[in-house]
A and B are shown apart, each in its own frame.
Chain A
Amino acid sequence: MAKLNIPPPHGGELVNRVIEKRDYAESMAAGAIEFDLKPTTLPDGTPIRHVYREIMSVCYGFFSPVEGSMTSTDLEGVLKERRLESGWVFPYPILLDVSEEDIKSTGVKEGDRLLLKLKGQPFAVMDVEEIYKINPEEVATRTFGTPEDNPEVVREPFNEKHPGYMIYKLMNDHVIAGKWTIVNPPKFREPYDRFWLPPAECRTVIKYVKKWRTCIAHQTRNVPHTGHEALMKNAAYTGDIEPCHGILVNAIIGAKRRGDYPNEAILEGHEAVNKYGYIKPSRHMVTFTLWDMRYGNPIESLLHGVIRQNMGCTHHMFGRDHAAVGEYYDKYATQILWSEGIPSFGFEAPPNEVDKGLKIIPQNMAEFWYCPVCGEIAYSESCGHVDQKQKFSGSFLRGMVAEGVMPPKVVMRPEVYKAIVKWWKVFNYPFVNKKYLENLNASLEVDLEPMEVPKA
């Protein structure tokens, strides 16, 4: 086997649409029509998405080659076969959705420049290429699939209990399409600032600081238990002529479903794994991507592939029930996608074997459980004591945490638990609840400096 190296960015080039120089930024924003970005909310007012996270991820290159809010042609290509108009694979609609009232009150039309404001300050500009109508429910349904149209992996119709489905279903019915450019780069607050590593910088760190030739990505939306740790350590044995040099943990940060752990605890929980030597820091690094998780199992795994390839990873580990919630998809839907493809979603072959597909190499992993006979955490495909297995369960652990029971260290590292308790004390609650989501929506992960924009 030949030695591997960092793959090229998806689409060939990293998107970088961030203007740091204030005078250039001001001249770009001058005279643009102002528009305040708003969250997507549930009928009871609970915020479930903020488009600013998508703008950040696009402009800093996490979602390369996507450069902005999708045109109707891009949207149709993504919904039909997960391809942009350019032919490159991309899984999800990325849209700046607005109401008819917004269109009327701003008077925006194709060819105009919009100044998108966040927390009252200028944030980004976009040149409007197209304004079109969508049926949000249809977008939601086609994004995730149906048992009839996608029988390979969809087991149940998506409904109002699915957080990702609701994000699309509750969108406004007009879309403003066009490329985004950040003109007032936000500053991340503690603890996010310690983990913010956009793709261009991440590639540099991997290559020149960490000196990793190969690197396997670990997707997370959870604080790690020892089953996750075993997954990371064992999946990293893949590589080329030697195991992967590095493990890149990339947490998805944004609004999550109620009952998940707070973003802050997730980041510091993973950090504790390397800080306290369970995986040494020279081999393990924690980062994040801003994205309001859609819980789309195989569809989400495609986005994970895009993000982590852009960040410079050679491999991506995928476990059972990847990025899933409920029983909507087959538990192995992601692994089916990456091992044989899902034709009804546009993949006659795995995403890394199709034209204009991904270059990142999948590592499909089965399960880890505690085996009392082996006396260790065992891999399901190796351990023969199936009858005695004791499975890890995130929800079982959440129940233990809620009851105030410190999980034993064979299940969760004490330092990881302490990270949970640290943020529990801050929020008076160990998990995401409505109040957490409201506070997060009000403060976001960032602050913006005041910026005066010259009038036209």
Chain B
Amino acid sequence: MPVWRLTLSQWRYQKLNGVIKMVHYIGVILDESRYEQIKGTEIEEKVQSIFGGALKMLVVEVPEDKSNQILKAFDRARIDSRGFIEDVPVAFRRAVFEEIVKNKSLDIVDKVLERLSEIQELAKKEDEYIPPPEIE
């Protein structure tokens, strides 16, 4: 069972007993345009459907030492109750997706970390302005 599906007590038990090595996750939401970009590639098979098929998502595994690097790089980033790294800048999520498309793989954490300084620069601009979506 993936760690993010464990109950809190199961997680505590396994962590205390060294059964699990800590792994965190980055969830990449796929809207239509993103889905088109991975359609037909081997990544498509890894797409998870959640909330009764209402959302499609790719889940990238992040070993603990690398998730610590991410948490350090972005002051509001945190691990949520599911074990996912959240509250990261939009620029970071975009970079994760770009690397997935480029490498046709979910094993892209190192590639993203190589771009950290560039992402941090973009993230600074996000503190002031994020364009609102056009909805009716």
Chain A: residues with CB nearer than 8 A to chain B? 258-259, 320-321, 326, 331, 370, 372, 375, 380, 386-391, 393-396, 398-400, 402-406, 408-411, 417-418, 421, 424-425, 428-430, 433-435
Interface status of B18 (Cβ within 8 A of chain A): no
Closest Cβ neighbor of A417 among chain B residues: B135
| A370–B54 CA distance with the chains assembled, in angstroms | 12
Q: What B residues does A389 contact at CB under 8 A? A: 5
Interface residue from B29, B80, B135 paired with A418 (Cβ < 8 Å): B135
Interface residue from B86, B128, B132 paired with A425 (Cβ < 8 Å): B132
Knowing that A387-B5, A393-B86, A410-B54 are A-B contacts, what are 18 other residue pairs whose CB atoms are under 8 Å apart, sorted by A's residue number?
A321-B81, A388-B5, A390-B51, A391-B81, A395-B78, A395-B80, A398-B87, A399-B86, A399-B87, A399-B88, A400-B29, A402-B90, A403-B29, A410-B51, A410-B52, A411-B55, A424-B132, A430-B130
| A262–B83 CA distance with the chains assembled, in angstroms | 26
Q: Which 8 A-B pairs have the closest CB atoms?
A: A408-B54, A395-B86, A424-B132, A404-B133, A393-B80, A410-B51, A425-B132, A395-B80
Within 8 A of A (CB), among B61-81: 76, 78, 80-81
Given contacts A387-B1, A405-B31, A421-B135, contact A396 B80 (CB under 8 A): yes
B77-119 near A? 1/0 per residue, CB < 8 Å: 0101110101110100100000000000000000000000000
A-B contact count (CB 8 A): 94
Interface status of B36 (Cβ within 8 A of chain A): no
Tell me the minimal C-beta distance from B29 to chain A in angstroms.
Answer: 5
Tell me the minimal C-beta distance from A187 to chain B in angstroms.
Answer: 29
Given contacts A331-B8, A390-B50, contact A406 B135 (CB under 8 A): yes
Chain B: residues with CB nearer than 8 A to chain A? 1, 5, 7-8, 27, 29, 31, 50-52, 54-55, 76, 78, 80-82, 84, 86-88, 90, 93, 127-133, 135
**Which of A331, A399, A408 lies at the interface centre, i.e. has the most chain B CB atoms within 10 A of its CB?**
A399
Interface residue from B31, B76, B80, B132 paired with A258 (Cβ < 8 Å): B76
Tell me the minimal C-beta distance from B16 to chain A in angstroms.
Answer: 14
| A109–B82 CA distance with the chains assembled, in angstroms | 54
- 18 residue pairs A–B, Cβ–Cβ below 8 Å: A259-B76, A331-B8, A370-B50, A370-B51, A372-B51, A372-B52, A386-B7, A387-B5, A390-B51, A395-B86, A400-B29, A402-B90, A403-B29, A404-B131, A410-B54, A418-B135, A421-B133, A433-B128
Contact yes or no, A411 B81, CB < 8 A: no
Q: What A residues does B90 contact at CB under 8 A? A: 402-403
Tell me the minimal C-beta distance from B133 to chain A in angstroms.
Answer: 4
Q: What B residues does A417 contact at CB under 8 A? A: 135
| A326–B87 CA distance with the chains assembled, in angstroms | 12
Q: What A residues does B54 contact at CB under 8 A? A: 408-411
| A396–B86 CA distance with the chains assembled, in angstroms | 6
| A228–B93 CA distance with the chains assembled, in angstroms | 26
Tell me the minimal C-beta distance from A268 to chain B in angstroms.
Answer: 15
Interface residue from A326, A372, A403, A428 paired with B129 (Cβ < 8 Å): A428
Q: What A residues does B50 contact at CB under 8 A? A: 370, 372, 390
Interface residue from B1, B5, B76, B82 paired with A396 (Cβ < 8 Å): B82
Contact yes or no, B55 A408, CB < 8 A: yes
Grouping DSSP codes into helix (H, G, I), strand (E, B) and loop, the B interface class, with mixed when no group exceeds half, is loop
| A390–B102 CA distance with the chains assembled, in angstroms | 29
Contact yes or no, A391 B82, CB < 8 A: yes
Contact yes or no, A428 B29, CB < 8 A: no
Contact yes or no, B82 A411, CB < 8 A: no
| A430–B128 CA distance with the chains assembled, in angstroms | 10
Contact yes or no, A429 B51, CB < 8 A: no
Given contacts A393-B86, A405-B29, contact A411 B51 (CB under 8 A): yes
Q: What B residues does A375 contact at CB under 8 A? A: 52
Q: What A residues does B51 contact at CB under 8 A? A: 370, 372, 390, 408, 410-411
Closest Cβ neighbor of B133 among chain A residues: A404
Q: What B residues does A405 contact at CB under 8 A? A: 29, 31
Tell me the minimal C-beta distance from B122 to chain A in angstroms.
Answer: 13
Q: What B residues does A320 contact at CB under 8 A? A: 81
Q: What B residues does A435 contact at CB under 8 A? A: 128
Contact yes or no, A399 B82, CB < 8 A: no
| A381–B7 CA distance with the chains assembled, in angstroms | 11
Contact yes or no, B78 A326, CB < 8 A: yes
Closest Cβ neighbor of A422 among chain B residues: B132
Tell me the minimal C-beta distance from A342 to chain B in angstroms.
Answer: 19
Given contacts A393-B80, A408-B51, contact A434 B127 (CB under 8 A): yes
Given contacts A406-B135, A429-B128, contact A399 B93 (CB under 8 A): yes
| A408–B130 CA distance with the chains assembled, in angstroms | 21
| A327–B5 CA distance with the chains assembled, in angstroms | 19
Q: What A residues does B76 contact at CB under 8 A? A: 258-259
Q: What A residues does B52 contact at CB under 8 A? A: 370, 372, 375, 410
Contact yes or no, A429 B129, CB < 8 A: yes
Q: What A residues does B27 contact at CB under 8 A? A: 396, 399
Q: What B residues does A370 contact at CB under 8 A? A: 50-52
| A421–B135 CA distance with the chains assembled, in angstroms | 8
Tell me the minimal C-beta distance from B32 to chain A in angstroms.
Answer: 10
Closest Cβ neighbor of B2 among chain A residues: A387
Given contacts A370-B50, A429-B128, contact A403 B93 (CB under 8 A): yes
